[in-house]
Structure 1
């Protein structure tokens, strides 16, 4: 159909976009970005016309059937619509069906043709050049949400990234900070034919937050996610947008399936240990760790190094590095793991930092055992053989390698991990972290694939949060 149906569909869709532009332009002329004027009759008519045009465009794109269940709440009843799962650009369909506002980057309004259509729905713009953009965005969402229905509803995908629809990942709290009633909307694509698509949108009952949820947006988000997961018939998983970024990073060290780094990254966020000035903090940590020269730290020393109080979550993090269960850890491993989490795609910079902490003063080199510790920590696994890799780098058979030799080897072998690590360590993708790890099995989500099993969520074990010391373990509100 590439040479027959597709060109026709493309032409019709492009024509509909062009047809929508003059209506959106006329309706947007003179509109303020900070206040809302009462919608007059002719603008209401434009709204209906644009919805019809967009429906024809999606019909040309193959969506011949769209099923809507439930009643859409009025803006005064539920100022915010939360949609999930977010899986593709097709999720723009409910935006065009409702003409609700969305959160978009400010640069979008300058795009020819498309920018005019965007401005018509009165979005909340986020400026990447403004350092206070996130704070201003939250404040704008709160302002609109508390306007008593004067502003159009704001439509938000709280997952913050695309998944394969087999589970719901952690919701970001932005939609729940205003502490107002929200209406969950679940999306399904029960397609049997590729060229004839079907979409289902289910408006669930309005979720009104309790007093506790109003004070705790994260708990509010968790409970709304549970309601939506139940409606979809899928499990929830404790992965977040940041976890997905880490799992899918295009670095030279591809994380294995069972890696402790996802658990570690989660604890880093909860403890507030992810630095704002990443480069400066990592270098400072590296210098301090080097001075310790491999000296093991206990829990109290670990807390002092990070300048944080001892807590249950800090104990969980300490346990991830207490490999021999002797109540001590090597702080250099913490720094390596933090570098991977903060800079997942910059393998060489992480290795440079690691070499700096481990190398001997007299020759600036490390041994095979030290290389194993570095790479084992960077991958988040317990056991790792690096013999083939070390031998390939140490051609002079000196028993030591420098960072310059390692970097030169990487330049010649950009796929060194695939060629020398994954082939030598057959159990790298299935082994547990430590015997005492917090979660028995953490798998990387297949964000772009399709679930192949009906157990758990099809891509990873169902580890719905229930462990101690986390807000995720709080009971669901009876609604």
Structure 2
């Protein structure tokens, strides 16, 4: 999405100088202007106070839930060094023994079975999975120094076919699968190929998601529905956030788990430790470093809390997004955490921002909220990020200042340009971040309002109301409204005057 053509931008800018009331959608800001007189030189300027911002676009309480830093004090480093010398070798040996035994048991349980099972395990295969592998899983976490506390009571598959775990903050969250009685889970198809762990995952008969399959989302939802309503399959455990966060909030829940419209049991994961070495985020330590730091702790506490079964209302059964929203609210209240509308797509935008040499956090826009309220797709926002990167000055830390704003529009810095800039600068810090840029572009330059805005700008230029614009009208109004008496608009006018008639009609301008 680009800015309007220069003449249309100029018309919008000129409206800041006139006093006819015009509101540009959603209560974002009011622009005031009056009917033009017969001469553009009579344009009068009238400043207007800003209207209150729409509350739905207020920045989130947690600006970046995808970053995690670990500060190690000298004493902590000394403790970890001692643990690394005396405890770590023993843990690694025990871990590898238990892992190899688990792999062997899983290989036996899945022998002669395809990767994608059409039927649930029965008989000895199910007993091996739910009893033996579950016990080995507990030993695996014990070998890593985990102390697990369970609160609440797990529901039966009949009462809650689907289990929802949040917040999702670590690869160690797999402990929820073990404590829950080895239910199936939703996993990427590539994970099946991971040495040792892939075979153990197969024993759980997961719902596999293929990123290469364009129908993967639909197929995944259909498979979850089938398992949740059949009565034969084990429970399905899902991390509804879809990606890891720093567990300071609950981000948007994906609706896939809520499409079946069946009862769910929320499960809360907490890591009440003085030093957090388990949180794995997009900006933070790698898997290898976190694993090493965790194994060098004396112990790591984790609490798994089973909340009461959530039975959906009729409205929630019909609307999976409403169902997801309400369950998230229930879990957030139990955790005492705020909620934000970030999602996995924000992480993808973070990676794109990094590729464009912007700070990674630049890409955070609360995708769920922005896409829903402004009707924007990810690809569209991705393109806007590329444009934003070309405008933003590196000295602003990935933000647009008034100088970059003026340079991009090829206009001088003036009072009226400052007014337009202030429409984008929602928090009034003197810069435009990417989130403000996306909101401003969608509201001020939304394709849904293009026709109305262009008509408004055309009428402004047509000072003698003959339904056409001459170069004199075009030039005089721009020079007056922008405060630049020597502004040369001849080339711009000729570009719009396709038939060289010396006039521009509304039809030809659009």
Instruction: Output the TM-score relative to the length of structure 2.
Output: 0.54
1:62-211 matched pairs, under 5 angstroms: 62-63=145-146, 65-97=147-179, 98-148=181-231, 150-192=232-274, 194-211=297-314
Question: What do the CA deviations read for 1:347-385 (whole angstroms, capped 9, x no partner)?
Answer: 4xx479x7xxxxxxxxxxxxxxxx57x99999675x444
Q: 1:96 to 1:432 in 2, by over 3 A?
A: closer
1:239 offset after TM fit, Å? 2.2
Give the Å deviation of 1:90: 1.1
Q: Does 1:253 align with 2:394?
A: no
* Pair 1:18–1:199, CA change in 2 (3 A): same
In the other structure, the counterpart of 1:396 is none
Give the Cα–Cα distance (whole angstroms) in 1 for the partners of residues 86 and 133 of structure 2: 28
Within 5 Å, give how 1:14-413 maps onto structure 2. 14-31=96-113, 33-36=116-119, 39-41=122-124, 43-45=126-128, 47-63=130-146, 65-97=147-179, 98-148=181-231, 150-192=232-274, 194-247=297-350, 249-250=353-354, 251-254=356-359, 262=365, 266-270=369-373, 272-274=375-377, 278=379, 339-340=383-384, 344=385, 347=386, 350=387, 383-386=401-404
**Between Structure 1 and Structure 2, how many residues are aligned?**
315
Native 8 Å contact 2:162 2:236 kept in 1: yes
The structure with more radius of gyration? 2
Whole-Å separation in 2 of the counterparts to 1:77 and 1:105: 27
SS in structure 1 at match of 2:84: coil
Q: Quick one: distance in 2 between partners of 1:375 and 1:264?
A: 24
Whole-angstrom distance in 2 between the partners of 1:428 and 1:131: 39
Return the alpha-carbon distance in structure 1 between the equivalents of residues 325 and 222 of structure 2.
Answer: 21
Q: What secondary structure, in the 3-state scheme, does the structure 2 residue paired with 1:103 have? A: strand
Does the aligned pair in 1 maintain the 2:117–2:205 contact within 8 Å? no
Deviation at 1:113?
A: 2.1
Gaps of 5+ in 2: 1-82, 276-296, 413-427, 442-510
User: Aligned partners of 2:266 and 2:367: how far apart in 1?
Assistant: 31
Between 1 and 2, higher relative CO (CA 8 Å, sep ≥ 6) is seen in 2
Q: 1:163 to 1:76 in 2, by over 3 A?
A: same
Partners of 2:346 and 2:366 within 8 A in 1: no
The CA distance in 1 between the partners of 2:434 and 2:104, in whole Å, is: 59
Q: Quick check: 2:241–2:252 contact (8 Å CA) kept in 1?
A: yes
Please list the CA deviations of residues 260-304 of structure 1 after superposition, one character each: whole Å capped at 9, or x if unmatched: x726873334554317xx5xxx7xxxxxxxxxxxxxxxxxxxxxx
CA drift at 1:217? 0.6
For residue 61 of structure 1, report the CA deviation from its aligned partner: 0.7
Deviation string 1:82-120 (CA, Å, 9 cap, x unpaired) is: 000011111011113321111112222233322211110
| CA deviation string 1:11-54 (max 9, x = no partner) | 21111110112211111124464443563257415532222221
SS in 2 for 1:191: coil
Structure 1 unmatched runs, 5+: 283-336, 355-370, 391-398, 401-424, 439-479
